[in-house]
Structure 1
Amino acid sequence: MPVIQFPYGKETLSIDIPQERLSAVLTSEMHDYKPELSQEELVCQALEHPIGTPKLSVMAEGKKKVVVIASDHTRPVPSKIIMPQMLAEIRKGNPDADITILISTGCHRETTKEELINKFGPEIVEKEKIVVHDCDDPTQVSLGKLPSGGELIIDRLAVETDLLVAEGFIEPHFFAGFSGGRKSILPGIASRKTVIYNHNAEFIASDRARTGIVDGNPIHIDMLYAARAAHLAFICNVVINSDKEVIYAVSGDVDQAHIAGREFLSSKCKVDAVMSDIVISTNGGYPLDQNIYQAVKGMTAAEATVKEGGVIIMMAKSNDGHGGAEFYKTFKEEKDLKRMMATFLATPKDQTRIDQWQSQIFARLLMRATVIYISDAPDDMVSDLHMIPAHSLEEALKKAEEIVGNPNASICAIPDGVSVIVI
């Protein structure tokens, strides 16, 4: 029997699946991609050959204030490799530059000092000026209207700088199409008001707001506009494998460089759906599986290949709990998913509730399939979120077979649900 391994936190869990029941193992080719250059060399080469802009060192000339946007603790961006090189390039162009690293938390909780050290290493945390974005900061600045009509309000530091740049990584994203690039601004350093408008129910319900799609995606359109309006001048983005290692890097214009990055990614991670009774998925392990909120992303890969009325077995350590107070409250207090969805769709764009977008996507997939959730989260929390708790793959699979009423039900395995685009 094939032994399938699934990342879970910083470990892996495995299960033997009979060959005759295994319908498919959906994996990204990028996990087997072996670049000729080291991680550091890939980033260096990207910075040496930017797309659509001069080198970062040239752009930094004469710029007194420089802000470098960095992702927060929920993203596995290899900042220890990217950030030192970006800082060196800036100082090459202007040794006296006043540099601030701005942590793009979006509407997430504040990143802790320990998490910053884990992300950047102790030297950068000790020596550099680091500010964590607060989406509720009253001093944020309005830059006018987005194409959708929402107000674009962002962190004052990003507005008052002479040069705004960003690091990040590109992966499939379940409603923005792809992460990275323009997302450093919206939602990264935007106000809560701006984020909730962009993530409104109408946009989330669009069939263009899906993994791997940007053309006609209303969420992406607003995000790219926001990046231009904020004068995000330069990005350095990478693609990583399952070991969180850089396998591709690109730098330059926020759109042109991002296009190159997502074209590379798409060439490695598109897979065809194989409709199955039971689908096992993950959020790729640490750090993306620290809470249930983030785990919805990995579930959407399973949603695309599970038969209606089937079962999704989702594995996410969730040691940080539910990850979204409003998200949790929504499902705990409302047990009728159809009524919940109707409420979302009737909510005006400017009155979008916090976490509503995640709740809407989660409700959509729960209406398609039962979810059995393997985690370290409390069982009652998992149950409150309309899922069935389990503590091992064997236990989850037994429950899944009982639900579908077939001990020989077909099984599809997706070892890393956030790294594939299921077509």
Structure 2
Amino acid sequence: METTLLYGKNGLSLNLPDSAFIVEPNNLPGLENDETAIKAALSSPIGTPPLKEMVKPTDTVAIIISDITRPTPNHKLVPLLIQELSHVPLGNFVIINGTGTHRDQTREEFVRMLGEWVVDNIRIINNQCHDKETLVNLGRSKFGCDVYLNKDYVEADFRIVTGFIEPHFFAGFSGGPKGIMPGIAGIETIMTFHNARMIGDPRSTWGNMEDNPVQEMTREINRMCKPNFMLNVTLNREKEITSVFAGELYEAHDKGCAFVKEHAMIQCEKRFDIVITSNSGYPLDQNLYQAVKGMSAAHKIVKEGGAIIVASECSDGLPDHGNYSKIFGLAKTPETLLEMINDPEFKMFDQWQVQKQAVAQVWADVYVFSELTDEQVQGAMLQPSHDIEKTLGTLYEKYGSEMSIAVLPLGPLTIPYVEEKIPGEVSGLAKNL
């Protein structure tokens, strides 16, 4: 059986046994005219007046975008927002790149993300989570930290958050309020948002919006300085826009999450010995840090003691920001990593991603097919795969001729689940939204 995984920009073809079970939703077609659909959403939004009527010509306008690790079609959304607000002088706009804890984007990258006209005519800044001079303290979160958000955002007269909605491995779904928190937050706030207790809570998982503390915190902080308008989209495997959700932050985001849940949450009758997954291809599979999402999706349907094979190009390395790769050097095994991270005294930038990865590794062996060196992969306590089909052949020796295989060609764009409870997960996710 031939199948193609989303991998890098070109995909990865595999020849697998006919018994392999492909787990993916029906691929929704892209909108026939996405520009028309976006304009219609801006003029007839969910829960607000038309965007144009909400903004005065004298207003300063902040537009929040997701960074280069996300496939949000900023090059379509942002120009249409500016066009819709043509009565506002270009000098009144600022675009804030929601890097969270990720690296800054370069001018060349902004041109790829937004188009040359936007880069040449609109002020664009990267959020600086470590620089308190660029942040504003909005008070105290009930989760136990001071709340810092980007100063240009807080001081703008009108605030717009853009994004793309997909299942998320601890926030339930991405998009909406996550564009603000953690997208343009300060490091103190982000560290609490990503601490071991929050990430390890069984309610902090794929597709769950009920009593999810991570989603609860991001919504709490948004209420402290709420975006006046949201523009989010959903995408198919070709990264084409399938639907548009615009208007009041929570109402529009909830409708978008329900739409994604209907198409992306796929029930499986059983667990599998082997789960092969992508990391949704470029841009999400640019580094090993992001590849944890593909591992986490596969974890949901792999047997305990089974194996996960994740195909993630990692053209940008490990990555080069934060402490992701350094944390692995502080322990000998995934089990001891979890013990270390769960110690309330331990606090280290990027620990949340290592925590999620270690949970999957304790449950199953994890192999990585990528452009990384063996040394880089093994340094993250993972096993390199140079050829997925040959890796499967080796695993036959361990699991036998009846070895069961599932494949997630779209990676974490598809969230499979089984109706059972396992450590660190919530059962019955399809019922939880």
Same fold (TM over 0.5): yes
2-structure distance, mates of 1:39, 1:391: 39
Deviation at 1:192?
0.8
In structure 1, the partner of 2:92 is 98
In structure 1, the partner of 2:339 is 342
Structural mapping, 1:213-224, within 5 Å:
213-224=208-219
Q: 1:251 to 1:74 in 2, by over 3 A?
A: same
Deviation at 1:325?
4.2
1:69·1:184 contact (CA, 8 Å) conserved in 2? yes
1-structure distance, mates of 2:30, 2:323: 42
2-structure distance, mates of 1:394, 1:79: 37
2:278·2:411 contact (CA, 8 Å) conserved in 1? yes
Q: TM-score, normalised by structure 1?
A: 0.94
Out of 319, 328, 333, the residue aligned to residue 331 of structure 1 is 328
In structure 1, the partner of 2:284 is 288
Structural mapping, 1:5-404, within 5 Å:
5-19=4-18, 21-22=19-20, 24-29=21-26, 32-34=27-29, 37-92=32-87, 94-95=88-89, 98-139=92-133, 140-273=135-268, 274-323=270-319, 324-348=321-345, 352-402=347-397, 404=398
2-structure distance, mates of 1:421, 1:147: 30
SS in 1 for 2:206: coil
Sequence identity, in percent? Answer: 34
Deviation at 1:109?
0.5
1:57·1:89 contact (CA, 8 Å) conserved in 2? yes
Deviates most, 4-13 or 291-300: 4-13
Q: Which runs of 4+ in 1 moved over 6 A?
A: none
Q: 1:96 to 1:241 in 2, by over 3 A?
A: closer
Out of 403, 407, 410, the residue aligned to residue 409 of structure 1 is 403
1-structure distance, mates of 2:120, 2:93: 14
SS in 2 for 1:255: helix
Deviates most, 254-263 or 53-62: 53-62
1:291·1:321 contact (CA, 8 Å) conserved in 2? yes
Which digits, 9 at most, give the CA deviation of each residue in 1:145-179, with x for residues without a partner? 12312211011111111111111110000000111
SS in 1 for 2:295: helix
Q: Can you give the 5+ residue segments of structure 1 that lack an aligned partner in the other structure?
A: none
One-letter amino acid of the structure 2 residue matched with residue 313 of structure 1: I
Q: How many residues align?
A: 414
2:15·2:389 contact (CA, 8 Å) conserved in 1? no
1-structure distance, mates of 2:208, 2:300: 14
In structure 1, the partner of 2:423 is none
2-structure distance, mates of 1:8, 1:302: 16
Deviation at 1:346?
1.7
Deviation at 1:408?
4.2
2:148·2:189 contact (CA, 8 Å) conserved in 1? yes
Q: Can you give the 5+ residue segments of structure 2 that lack an aligned partner in the other structure?
A: 418-433
One-letter amino acid of the structure 2 residue matched with residue 7 of structure 1: L
2:229·2:248 contact (CA, 8 Å) conserved in 1? yes
SS in 2 for 1:211: coil
2-structure distance, mates of 1:157, 1:179: 23
2:66·2:183 contact (CA, 8 Å) conserved in 1? yes
2-structure distance, mates of 1:396, 1:354: 33
Deviates most, 336-345 or 102-111: 336-345
Q: TM-score, normalised by structure 2?
A: 0.92
SS in 2 for 1:43: helix
SS in 2 for 1:319: coil
Deviation at 1:64?
2.3
1:172·1:179 contact (CA, 8 Å) conserved in 2? yes
